[in-house]
Amino acid sequence: MKEGQHDQHIKKYGMVIDLDKCTGCGACMVACMQENNIPFQKDETDKMLSITWLRVFKLDNGKPYPDTDICYLPRPCMHCSGIGEHGHSPCVSVCPATATDYSMETGIVSQIYTRCFGCRYCMAACPYHVRHFNWWDPVWPSGMERSLNPNVSVRMRGVVEKCNFCFQRYQIAKEKAFTEGRTEIEEHEYQPACVEACPANAITFGDLLNPKHKVYKLKQDPRAFRLLEKLHTNPKVYYLSSREWVREAGDNYIENEKVDVEPKKH
């Protein structure tokens, strides 16, 4: 939907990830790969060539034992709104073939695989490294193709792909609502695979604009922060942490700069 076509049904889907709860188990990554038919190679040793829509990072506070502390940080696509909430995401604005789009209806940054011709400008633009290139054609071990999700197309060699907040689930939920005579979907009807798979309930998903959704309140938590806020990418993924060093790890600060990572009061 083009800018300027806002209506009362406008949504801004986003995520709040509680890092105090995340155990780094990786269930979200596995669920994501399974749900979205993410291909893999025989040799996955070079992680720079792997496709991981959702990647769990292991952060540490850089201090020696016994003060050492670690934190696991799951990183999906941030679905940046960009400067001025105009959908001017770092990646969308640069794509020369309009193969990635910012939906003003949902706030989701999509990727049109059949439109992408693989210039990789969007990958260069994304500071979060959420975009991955298909360096190879996907090959599924014999029999494994039966486990593919029929609601998600597999991608061909030479195109870019990334997390889309399991958009196919949004479409299914919308279709279900439509058949039941509803125009709106409930919060629980559209939840990405990673959210459902998290055993610690660390990931919460919903409409950031809807006061009835849990994320609406959670994003205002004093522990909330977003990654690289200073770049004005305006991400829709929020993180919660009670640890100051974790909040500080969310952005770059120059020496002597007043670090604004104190828990916010709302």
Interacting residues with another protein (CB under 8 A):
2, 46, 48-50, 57, 59, 73, 83, 90, 93-99, 115-121, 123-129, 131-137, 156-160, 227-228, 230-233, 249-255, 257
- Comparing CB distances to another protein, the nearer of 164 and 191 is 164
Q: How far is the CB of 43 from another protein (least distance, A)?
A: 11
175 burial level (CB within 10 Å; 0-12, 13-18, 19+): exposed
Which H helix or E strand runs over 96?
A: none
Query: Nearer Cβ to another protein, position 40 or 136?
Result: 136
The minimum distance between CB 214 and another protein, in angstroms, equals 27
Of residues 23 and 220, the one with the C-beta less far from another protein:
23
Specify the residue, 64 or 96, whose C-beta has the smaller distance to another protein: 96
| Nearest by Cα to 1 from 94, 87, 81, 112 | 87
In the numeric block, which tokens belong to residue 48? 């720079």
The closest of 43, 22, 12, 1 to 194, measured between CA atoms, is 22
Q: How far is CA 249 from the centre of its chain?
A: 18
Nearer of residues 185 and 249 to another protein, judged by Cβ: 249
What's the min distance (Å) between Cβ of 162 and another protein?
Answer: 10
CB of 180 to another protein, least distance (A): 31
- Least separation in angstroms between CB 141 and another protein: 19
Q: CA triplet 54, 56, 60: central angle to 5 degrees?
A: 155
Count of beta carbons in the 10 Å neighbourhood of residue 84 = 9
Task: Please give the backbone phi and psi of residue 9, each rounded to the nearest 5 degrees, phi first.
Answer: -90, 5
